């Protein structure tokens, strides 16, 4: 149970960081 939650937390940290890429690309304008 804890393992599932912790792996989910690691994936969440990964996803919210990955989401910066398209966000910053739009901000950059290219």
Token output for 19 = 């989401």
CB of 10 to other proteins, least distance (A): 6
With CB under 8 A, what is the number of residues at the site for other proteins? 20
Backbone φ and ψ of 10, nearest 5°:
-65, -40
Per rule CB under 8 A, is residue 11 in the interface with other proteins? yes
Per rule CB under 8 A, is residue 26 in the interface with other proteins? no
Q: Tokens 């939650």, residue?
A: 5
Cα–Cα distance measured from residue 13 to residue 7, given in angstroms and rounded to the nearest whole number: 10
Site for other proteins, rule CB under 8 A = 2-3, 5-7, 9-11, 13-14, 17-18, 20-21, 24-25, 27-30
């Amino acid at each position: 149970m804890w393992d599932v939650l912790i792996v989910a937390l690691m994936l969440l940290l990964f996803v919210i960081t990955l989401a910066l890429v398209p966000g910053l690309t739009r901000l950059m304008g290219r």
